[in-house]
Amino acid sequence: MEHEAETVELGRTNLRVSSLGVGTNTWGSRAGPDPDKRATFDAILDSGITLIDTAEVYGASEQTIGHCIRESTRRPAVLTKFAPLPWRLGKRAMISALRRSLSRLSLTTMDVYLLHFPSPPVSLETWADALADAVEAGLTRAVGISNCNPAQTRRVHTVLAARGIPLACNEVGFSLLRRNPEHNGLLNVCKELGVTLIAYQPLASGMLSGKYDSKHRPGGIRRLIYNSRYLTRIQPLLEALKRIADARGKTVSQVALNWILCKGALPIPGAKSPEQARLNAGAMGWRLTSAEVAELEAVDILPH
C-alpha cells in the first residue's frame, strides 16, 4: 500500500526527498528491462522512498532505472555521479558525461549530480565550476560531491556559493561500523554549511542486516572482506542491535539505519528485492531514544 514517508530538504536546495533513499550499485548486471528490478522500483515508490542513488560507473544501473522510469507513471528524484577518470581533465568532460547519463536514465533534467570522488591533479575548484555550469545550463536541479573530507567540502561549497548555488550533499561511507564522518568532523562541517551528509553502505554491505554472523557468512567477494574473524569481532554490536530491534518490534537493519537518521544523515541502503526496499523504508517515521543510541555506541570493539 502506498504511504507517505518522512521527507527532508536536500541541503538548502528546496528539493525535498525521503529521509532515506535507495542505492542501486547492484542493479547493473543486465542492460535490458528487468522484471525483478521493476518490481523493486515499484516497491521503493510504494514505501515512500523518493530518492534513488546511481552512478555512471555502476554497470547498467542507469539504463535499468531508465527502463523503470519509462514504464512507470511515477518518478523518484534521481541522483547520479560523474567519475573523474584519469583521461577526463576538464569541465567539458563533465557536461558531456551528464548528457549521456540523462539519456541512459530517460530524463531531460537530473535531480542531483555529484562529483564521485576528488581526482588530482584536476582541482576540485575545476569540477565545482563545472557542476555550477551544469545547474546554469538547466541540466541538473542540484549538485553535490562524494568521498570528500571536511576541507574539500568547504572548498567546493565556497566555489558554488560564489555562483549562488548551494552544495546539496556530500555522499560518504557512514555506518555503525564506519564512523569516521563523526570523528573527522565531516558531519559537523556538513551541518554548519547546510549540506546533507548522504551515508553510503549504511548496512556495511549487509553485515548490519542481522542475517550474517561468523556461522552465516556472505558469499562472493564479501566472504573475503568480511571473514569469520571480522564477524566474530562485531558480534557484540549485532547482539545490541538485535536486543533493541526485538524490544521495539523492528528489524536489525531498521535499527542500524535509524541510528544514521538520528545523526541527521540520509542513508541509502542498497535493495536487491521489493522486500528489502519495503523493510528498509520501515527505518523511517520513528527514532531511537538517546539511551538506545548510547547503548549502540558503547559497544567499544567496533572497527572504524
Ligand X SMILES: NC(=O)c1ccc[n+]([C@@H]2O[C@H](COP(=O)([O-])OP(=O)(O)OC[C@H]3O[C@@H](n4cnc5c(N)ncnc54)[C@H](OP(=O)(O)O)[C@@H]3O)[C@@H](O)[C@H]2O)c1
Contacting positions for ligand X (CB under 6 A): 23-26, 53, 146-147, 171, 200-206, 209, 211, 218, 253, 268-272, 276, 279-280
Q: Which residues contact 298 (CB under 8 A, 6 or more apart)?
A: none
- Toward ligand X, which CB reaches closer, 144 or 166? 144
- Toward ligand X, which CB reaches closer, 60 or 279? 279
- Toward ligand X, which CB reaches closer, 38 or 217? 217
Could you tell me the smallest distance in angstroms from the CB atom of residue 162 to ligand X?
25
Cell of 176: 555503525
Task: In whole angstroms, give the CA distance from residue 87 to residue 110.
Answer: 24
- Toward ligand X, which CB reaches closer, 138 or 219? 219
Could you tell me the smallest distance in angstroms from the CB atom of residue 122 to ligand X?
17
Burial 209-221 (b: 16+ CB within 10 A, else e): bbebebeeebeee
**Count of C-beta atoms within a 10 Å radius of residue 281:** 24
- Marked catalytic residue, from 58, 113, 200, 212: 58
Q: CB–CB of 152/145 below 8 Å?
A: yes
DSSP-based three-state secondary structure for 156:
helix
Could you tell me the smallest distance in angstroms from the CB atom of residue 65 to ligand X?
11
Task: In whole angstroms, give the CA distance from residue 115 to residue 119.
Answer: 9
- Toward ligand X, which CB reaches closer, 163 or 279? 279
Could you tell me the smallest distance in angstroms from the CB atom of residue 26 to ligand X?
5
Could you tell me the smallest distance in angstroms from the CB atom of residue 198 to ligand X?
8
**CA quadruple 41, 47, 49, 53: dihedral sign:** negative
- Nearest in space to 105 (alpha carbons), one of 123, 81, 129, 132: 81
Told to judge if 230 belongs to the known catalytic residues of this protein, a careful annotator would answer no
Q: Which residues are catalytic?
A: 58
